[in-house]
Amino acid sequence: MKVPPGPRGFEVFQFLGGGNVGRTLKFLESSARRYGPISSFRILTKRIYLVDDPDLIEEILVKRQHSFVRDTGAVLLRELIGDGLLTREEPEHRERRRILQPAFHRDQIASYADSMSSEAERTASEWQPDATIDLAAEMRRLTLAIVGECLFGADFRGSAKGIAAALQRVGKRSQWLVPGFAFLEPLVLAYRRTFPRAPSLFFRSERAELERIITPIIERRRQSQTRDVISLLMAQRDDAGGRLSDEDIRNEIVTFVLAGHETTATALTWTGYLLAQHPDVERKLHAEIDLAVGERTATFDDIPQLRYTSAVFAEAMRLYPPALLFGRRPKETITLGGYTIRRGSTIFLSPYITQRNERFFDRPTAFDPERWEAGSPPKLAYFPFGGGAKMCIGEPFARMEGVLVLAALARRWRLRLADEKAVGVGSGMILRPDRPIVMRLDLRQPASSVPQPANAAASS
Ligand code: HEM
C-alpha cells in the first residue's frame, strides 16, 4: 500500500498543539509545503492525511462527495449544537437542506439587505469619536443582530453577551479538544449511541445557555407566516405530520445562530485588522464607498458598484478563512492522488493552508484585493465556504453582509490599531485572533458622491 509522504517521529506530536491551534496549523502548513499535494503522518494508531491541491479537493468535496462523510469535527460540534444541517449526513442532510434552502434563494437574500444595512448603521451610530472598541466583540454583536433579524425575526442584541460568553468558553475548551479529538471520538460515539438524549459531554452549560435564549424565540414565532428559517421548519413539521420534533427545530436554530454569526464576525474582524495595516487599500475602499453610496444607507442595488469592497472582503477571507480546517473520511478504502486511503481515515482540507500556497496565488501572504480584479484563482484553490452538496448554505448571505457592513462602517469611520503588537491566530473551530484587536475610532467625512464644479462656492 502506497502511503503519502509526511513528517515522522516526535515531530508529529506538534499536531496536538498543546492548547494552541496556531501551532497545529503551523505544523500542518509546513507538512503541506514540504511534502506536496497530499501528505500524511501517523499519531499512535491513527493516520491523518492533508490534501493541499484544488483538483484533489474537488474530488473530495464535489466529484466523489458521496464516498465521504464529515469527520471528527462534526462529532465534536454535535455535542454543542445537536443534530442539525451542519452535522447531518445523507439522506437526512439532503432532505433538511431542501427544507431550508428557500431562506437562501436569491430573492430572499435580496430582501435581507435592508436589515443588514440598518443594523450596521445602528452600530456605526453608536460608536464615539476617539473611543476604542474590541473589534471582534463589536462584530459578533452586529452579526448576531443581523442573523436574528433576517433569519428569525428576533432581536438578539440583549442576548449577545450571554451567547458570546458561552462561545468564548467553547472556544477555549476546543483549543485542547480539536486536535486530539480523533482519539476521544470512539468513546464519544459509544456514549451517544447508548444515551442519545443525554446532556452534552463537553459543552453542557453552554448548550443549556443557548437553549435558554432560543426557546422563547421559537415560542413567539409559532404563528408566523413568513419564509424565515423557523417558519420553514415549523411548516414542514405541520405538513409532514410531526416529522420535525421540537428538538429538531431547536437544533437547527442553534446551528444557524452559531454558523451564521461567528464566521462572518471573524471575517469582518480580520478585514478591519488588514485594512488598518494597509492604508492604500483602505483609501481605495473609502473612495469606492463614498462614490457609490455617499451619505445614504447602502442598499441591495448598490452592491454591483461595490466591487472593490467585495474584493477586500474576499481577500481577507483568503488570508484568514474563518473555517480554517475541516475534515472528511472515506466510507470505503479509496484511491486518491495515486495513494490508497483506508476507510475511516481522517482527511483534512484547509482553506488557510491552500489559500496561502504560492502555486495558486502570487505573493501568497500579501493582502492584495487587486488580485481579484485580475481574475479568479483555480477552482477550489479558494474555498472559504467549502464545496459540493455540503457547501455553506449561507455563502450568499455572508458575502452580501460583508459588503453592506463594510459600506456602513467605513462610510463613517476609520479604524486605527490602538497598539502595534502583532496579532496571531488562536482558535478552536473558527480562526479567531489570538488576542483582542483594539481599534481607535476616527470619524470620517465621506467625500461627496457628486463631484462639485470648481466654481460652486463662488457662484452661490
Ligand atoms: C464568512 C462567513 C462564513 C464562512 C467562512 C462559512 C464557512 C462554511 C463552511 C466552510 C462550511 C462547510 C463545512 C463542511 O463542508 O464541512 C459551512 C457550512 C454551513 N454554513 Fe457557513 N460560513 C459562513 C457564514 C454562514 C452564514 C451567514 C450562515 C447562515 C446564515 C451559515 C450557515 C452554514 C450552514 C447551515 C452550514 C452547513 C451546510 C450543509 O451542510 O448543508 N454560514 N460554512
Residue 309 has pLDDT above 90, yes or no: yes
For position 226, what pLDDT does the model report?
60
For position 323, what pLDDT does the model report?
93
Residue ranges lining ligand 1, Cβ < 6 Å: 70, 85-86, 97, 147, 255-256, 259-260, 263-264, 267, 321-323, 326, 384-386, 390, 392-394, 397-398
Protein residue whose Cα sits closest to atom 27 of ligand 1:
260
- Give yes or no for a contact between 161 and 137, defined as CB atoms under 8 angstroms apart: no
Protein residue whose Cα sits closest to atom 13 of ligand 1:
386
Reduced to 3 states, what is the DSSP secondary structure of residue 416? strand
Q: Residue 141 C-alpha to ligand 1 middle, in angstroms?
A: 19
Helical packing angle, 72-81 and 246-277, nearest 10°: 110
The residue whose grid cell reads 431542501 is 98
Is the pTM higher than 0.85? The answer reads: yes
Nearest-CA neighbor of 82 among 169, 224, 196? 196
Protein residue whose Cα sits closest to atom 3 of ligand 1:
263
Mutate to test the pocket of ligand 1, among 105, 147, 149, 263 (most ligand atoms within 8 A of CB): 263
Q: Residue 181 C-alpha to ligand 1 middle, in angstroms?
A: 21
- Kindly calculate the radius of gyration of the chain based on its CA atoms and give it in whole angstroms: 23
Protein residue whose Cα sits closest to atom 20 of ligand 1:
392
**Cell (9 digits) for 18:** 498543546
pLDDT digits (tens, 9 = 90+) for 241-269: 556 788 888 888 888 988 899 999 999 99
More confident site: 318 or 95:
318
Nearest-CA neighbor of 137 among 248, 50, 266, 235? 266
- Give yes or no for a contact between 136 and 273, defined as CB atoms under 8 angstroms apart: no
CA dist 306 and 7 (Å) reads: 45
Which CATH architecture best describes the domain 9-459? Orthogonal Bundle (1.10)
CA dist 301 and 370 (Å) reads: 23
Please list, in sequence order, all residues whose beta carbon lies within 8 angstroms of the beta carbon of residue 381, skipping any fewer than 6 positions away: 54, 354, 355, 357, 360, 361
Protein residue whose Cα sits closest to atom 18 of ligand 1:
392
Q: Residue 88 C-alpha to ligand 1 middle, in angstroms?
A: 13
For position 278, what pLDDT does the model report?
97
Q: Ligand 1, closest atom to CA 261?
A: 27
Q: Ligand 1, closest atom to CA 100?
A: 35
pLDDT digits (tens, 9 = 90+) for 272-306: 999 999 999 999 999 999 999 998 999 999 999 99
For position 2, what pLDDT does the model report?
86
Q: Ligand 1, closest atom to CA 321?
A: 5
For position 217, what pLDDT does the model report?
77
Please provide the DSSP assignment of 137-175 as one string: HHHHHHHHHHHHHHHHS---GGGHHHHHHHHHHHHHHHH
Protein residue whose Cα sits closest to atom 19 of ligand 1:
392
Q: Ligand 1, closest atom to CA 255?
A: 35
Protein residue whose Cα sits closest to atom 39 of ligand 1:
390
**Cell (9 digits) for 268:** 469582518
Q: Ligand 1, closest atom to CA 398?
A: 27
CA dist 441 and 306 (Å) reads: 23
pLDDT digits (tens, 9 = 90+) for 332-371: 999 999 999 999 899 999 999 999 999 999 999 999 999 9
> Which of 80-89, 215-224, 304-313, 450-459 has the weakest average pLDDT?
450-459
